[in-house]
Amino acid sequence: MKKYSIFQNARYIYSKGKTVDKTYTIRMIIMILLQLIIPIVATFIPAVVVYLITSNVQISEFIIVMSIVVGGYTLFTFLNTLMSHNLTFDNTILRTKTFWQDLSNKTLVTGYENVESEEGKQKLNLAIGCVSSNWVGIELHLKRFPTFIVSLIGLIMFSVYIFSINVWIIVLLFVMTVINIGLNIYARKYELSKMDILNKNRTKLRYYQEESNKLVNGKDIRIYNLEDWFYRGIKTFTRKYSSNVVKQKLFYFLPNLSDSFFTILRDILAYSILVMMVINGEISIPEFTFMIGIITGFSVWLQQISSSHGELKEANISINNYRNYMAIDDLNSGNKQTDISNLLHESVEVKFDQLSFTYPSASSPTIKNFNLHIKKGERIAIVGINGAGKTTIAKLLSGLYKPTTGDIYIDGISIQDFDRVDYYKLVGSIFQDVNIFAFTIAQAISGQSTDEIDYDLLWKVVEKAGLKEKCDRLPEKVETYLTQEINENGIMLSGGEMQKVMLARVLYKNAPIVILDEPTAALDPIAEQELYLQYKELTKDKISIFISHRLASTQFCDRIVFVEDGEIQEIGTHKELLKNNGKYAYMFDIQSQYYKENIGEEGEHNEQENI
């Protein structure tokens, strides 16, 4: 993982300042200058007053000088308030419009494995943590970096001035600074070393808190009396987390404590030296006022440096996470520039060649030496027990995963030669989990924005999928929103209707390869039957893969592939495989025996022998 320093990250972030507007950087610099001048003028004013009065100037002269000094101060503070408030807002824009946007745009298209793998999810979560609020990562940096710069310059300026008054005071202040920084670093180190355990306890507590608030858990909690289990968890982890927090704060208490001791020492030293100097006539009373102001001001800078530096460090960890995520290879570009337009509307053939696939975190392959040649227009069913690798094959053919070894050829072209985003255009799928996007029905079916949708085609597929009647009844027709997330007039579709939307989506896309992964698991028999009948229509002139536990569905397919442990065990037509009396036949038998007219004892025995 690459680590960038605070200044490197500042450059990275401010280089994108232009997205807010052209004047962003200039305004930022002016604000920094104002914030440097204001405290100096503020210290200067009382000294000027003391000077003017002790030197008995004319009233008119007094008024003129004061008008200039206080007038200037007023102008500076006025501008500073105006600018810093607007800049705070611009920081939010910069974060959301640039950094958040970039992150979400990348996530929308990056290789599927980057978002699906545990590692990818973690990296993404860390990156989101950098842009998710005003007080983290990018925006925290934007808030604190100017403060840090201002205090640093201020501290140096004040040091030089104090040095000219008395060496001992600056030595003391220097020691104070060093100890403050040292203790803060120490506290930070401690915090980092315990961060993991703190976060873990916090996450665990949050798990208990959130799970008890979730509706989906409500039934099981009540039926299985799980309330006590939650109480216990909440109690235990509140205790653990609290004691972690106390320890952590203790370490930050130390530099603060040291600072206050040094402040007392500083006061003793500064006041006694300066008072003596006044008594001895070495400095004037106005100088005394100004010097006391500057010496006290030194601590303010120091405090600001130490707190803003701490926060910048914290932001930096998060920003580095963000930059590392942004630097992940999207894995989207193909080995060659392959034009897919020729393949889009024709029937193709697919060849799995010695295909193997191992999940990044797994030790053994999920798919092993998978060889299959799917001819033009052929319907293939893939069956097998849970965990046999059926869905993985579907995902490989969808282009969502890249083969570990071996290859898939589409009309003789290796899948790796396509640009991935292009390749997706070749595939239409229905997955087991139905995901609802809260867009309009038309948008959900087409995946396009309203001005791009081909409405003739859309209505045609809506009719084919059996949704026309439903859509006609809706006042907004296909422009009706799904769910009420975006539009209050949005509607909820039933499970069966959603299934039809999924079907319409495949029809609209009209891609040469169709993949259906257990689309019927939650359907009642009649809806299931409907889907089977539509299946033929859906896959006309296309290559299709149907994955299902309902072996009835396989009978619509030209060939059936029985998969076990990622390998093809049997292959053939339904009849062939039944005749074969192998594993497929066994599976079909146990599923069908309850559907036969009589549940015979012999039947059961037969199957037992087949195991």
Partner 1 sequence: MNKKTFSQIRNVIKMSNQADKSFFIIVLLRSLASASLPFVSIIYSALLIDGFIQGLPKDALMLYVIKLIVISGILLLLRVILTFIVDQKSQIINLLLGNEISKKTLNLDYQQLESQRMKNMLSSADQGVNSNGGLGSFVLQIGFSIQQAISGIYSFILMIGLFQIKQIGNPSTTEQFFNSPIVGIIIIGLIIISLINNFISLSQQNKIQYETFIHNVKVNRIFQYIANIAFNYKLAKDIRIYNMDKLIIKEKSKYQEKYIGIFRTMSKKVSKKLAVITLVNNVVVYVAYILIGIKALLGITTVGAVLRLVYAVTAFNTSITQFATHFNVALLQTKYLQLYKDYLDEPTEMYKGTIPIEKRDDNNYLIEFKNVSFHYPNSEEMILKDFSIKLTIGERLAIVGPNGAGKTTMIKLICRLYDPTKGEILLNGVNINKYKYEEYVKLFAVVFQDFKLFSATIKNNISFTAQETDETIKEYLYQAGLKDMVENLEDGIDTYLYTDFAEKGIEVSGGEAQKIAIARALYKDSPFVILDEPTSALDPVSEYEIYTKFDELVKNKTSIYISHRMASCRFCNNIIVIENGSVTQHGNHETLLQDKEGLYYTMWETQSQYYKEEV
Residues in 372-431 that interact with partner 1 by CB under 8 A: 384-387, 395, 398-400, 421, 424-425, 427-429, 431
Q: How far is the CB of 279 from partner 1 (least distance, A)?
A: 6
Region 254-293 residues binding partner 1, contact defined as CB under 8 A: 256-257, 259-260, 263-264, 267-268, 271-272, 275-276, 278-279, 285, 288-289, 292
- Measured between alpha carbons, how far is 115 from 108 in angstroms, rounded to an integer? 9
CA dihedral sign of residues 287, 292, 293, 295:
positive
Chosen residue from 5, 23, 74, 354 binding partner 1 by CB under 8 A? 74
Helix (H) or strand (E) holding 217: helix 215-223
Identify the bridge partners of residue 35 per DSSP, sorted by sequence position: none
Chosen residue from 242, 333, 335, 405 binding partner 1 by CB under 8 A? 242
For the record, the structure tokens of 409 come out as 């050829």
Q: How far is the CB of 524 from partner 1 (least distance, A)?
A: 5
- Measured between alpha carbons, how far is 214 from 204 in angstroms, rounded to an integer? 15
Q: How far is the CB of 263 from partner 1 (least distance, A)?
A: 6
How many CA atoms lie less than 13 Å away from 465 in the CB half-sphere?
A: 24
- Measured between alpha carbons, how far is 315 from 138 in angstroms, rounded to an integer? 7
Report the DSSP pairing between strands 559-564 and 567-572.
antiparallel
- Measured between alpha carbons, how far is 445 from 481 in angstroms, rounded to an integer? 12
Region 92-111 residues binding partner 1, contact defined as CB under 8 A: 92-93, 96-97, 100-101, 103-105, 107-109
- Is the Cβ–Cβ distance between 495 and 535 less than 8 Å? no
Q: How far is the CB of 249 from partner 1 (least distance, A)?
A: 4
600 is an interface residue for partner 1 by CB under 8 A = no
Q: How far is the CB of 582 from partner 1 (least distance, A)?
A: 14
Question: Among residues 10 and 427, whose Cβ is nearest to partner 1?
Answer: 427
Question: Among residues 310 and 428, whose Cβ is nearest to partner 1?
Answer: 428
Region 511-540 residues binding partner 1, contact defined as CB under 8 A: 521-529
Chosen residue from 19, 159, 166, 212 binding partner 1 by CB under 8 A? 212
Chosen residue from 5, 54, 354, 489 binding partner 1 by CB under 8 A? 54
Question: Among residues 161 and 252, whose Cβ is nearest to partner 1?
Answer: 252
Three-state secondary structure of 545-568 = EEECCCHHHHHHCCEEEEEECCEE
437 is an interface residue for partner 1 by CB under 8 A = yes
Identify the bridge partners of residue 414 per DSSP, sorted by sequence position: 409
Region 137-196 residues binding partner 1, contact defined as CB under 8 A: none
Question: Among residues 406 and 603, whose Cβ is nearest to partner 1?
Answer: 603
Q: How far is the CB of 607 from partner 1 (least distance, A)?
A: 9
Question: Among residues 10 and 546, whose Cβ is nearest to partner 1?
Answer: 546
495 is an interface residue for partner 1 by CB under 8 A = yes
Residues in the chain: 611
The shares of helix, strand and coil residues in the chain, as percent rounded to the nearest 5, are 65, 10, 25
- Is the Cβ–Cβ distance between 499 and 527 less than 8 Å? yes
Chosen residue from 10, 124, 165, 170 binding partner 1 by CB under 8 A? 124
Q: How far is the CB of 127 from partner 1 (least distance, A)?
A: 9
- Measured between alpha carbons, how far is 391 from 537 in angstroms, rounded to an integer? 23
- Is the Cβ–Cβ distance between 305 and 152 less than 8 Å? yes
362 is an interface residue for partner 1 by CB under 8 A = no
67 is an interface residue for partner 1 by CB under 8 A = yes
CA dihedral sign of residues 162, 168, 174, 176:
negative
489 is an interface residue for partner 1 by CB under 8 A = no
For the record, the structure tokens of 342 come out as 């020729």
245 is an interface residue for partner 1 by CB under 8 A = yes
Region 22-51 residues binding partner 1, contact defined as CB under 8 A: 45-46, 49-50
Question: Among residues 5 and 243, whose Cβ is nearest to partner 1?
Answer: 243
3-state secondary structure of 255: helix
Q: How far is the CB of 354 from partner 1 (least distance, A)?
A: 25
Chosen residue from 196, 433, 602, 609 binding partner 1 by CB under 8 A? 433
* Maximum Cα–Cα distance across the chain: 123
Q: What is the phi/psi pair of residue 330, to 5°?
A: -70, -15
